[in-house]
Copies of this chain bind each other. A is one copy, B any other.
Amino acid sequence: MAAQGKPVLHGYFRSSCSWRVRIAFALKGIEYDQVPVSLVKDGGQQLTDQYKTVNPMQQVPAVTIDGITLSQSLAIIQYIDETRPGPRLLPADPQQRAQVRMISDLIASGIQPLQNLHVIQKIGAEKVQWAQHFINKGFNALESILKQTSGTYCVGNEISMADICLVPQVYNAERFKVDLDQYPTIKRINQTLMELEAFKVSHPTCQPDTPDDLRA
């Protein structure tokens, strides 16, 4: 493969799916460039014709890497994992890999899409209750699953894609004022992860496009 330069992340500081990719890059120690795509400025910069050529789904994140452009955060993360050295983001054991994917998809298909900005805007006045409903439904299930799969982290004692999904979803839950005390395992794992450098440097409060009043 020809040298292609650094990967480019098209993302938004506050997008939980963009944060997932930033964590993956940080865990792998991969340098990348960021192109901010504001989901609120100009009526949503993801809706421009120009961005549509980057990601026809008009969502963030998208990553240009090795001559191709990928969207969908879990596809991006697994591509990074399969093509780059560094700590593995999915376990070697097939059953543990399946558990990592199950937890990742529970969040990425079962929770996040139902409380993302586009959906919430369509819901209107009831948006906080709507988001809380789906986050609580998902976290109830997740808490129960994590009681069986977790060690220090979501699946056993190695950081995985499941942890990469967990932390940004907890951040969203806090934004929607979900009571995390109901979910002691989620809360414990999130706190442990937030001590780690890769989760700190990728946090929404310290990205190039973070507004000054939201900076940590």
* Chain A interface residues (CB < 8 Å from chain B): 55-59, 66, 68, 70-72, 74-76, 78-79, 82-83, 94-95, 97-99, 101-102, 104-106, 108-110, 112-114, 119, 122, 130, 133, 137-138, 140-142, 144-145
Q: Which residues of B contact A56 (CB under 8 A)?
A: 140-142, 144-145
Subset of 18 A-B contacts with CB under 8 Å: A55-B141, A56-B140, A56-B141, A57-B137, A66-B95, A70-B98, A71-B102, A71-B106, A72-B105, A74-B109, A76-B98, A79-B95, A82-B94, A82-B98, A108-B109, A109-B109, A113-B114, A114-B119
B110 and A110 contacting across the interface, CB-CB below 8 Å: no
A106 to B82, CA, bound (A): 20
Q: Which residues of B contact A74 (CB under 8 A)?
A: 101, 105, 109
Distance to closest chain B CB from A124 (angstroms): 11
A144 to B58, CA, bound (A): 12
Distance to closest chain B CB from A142 (angstroms): 8
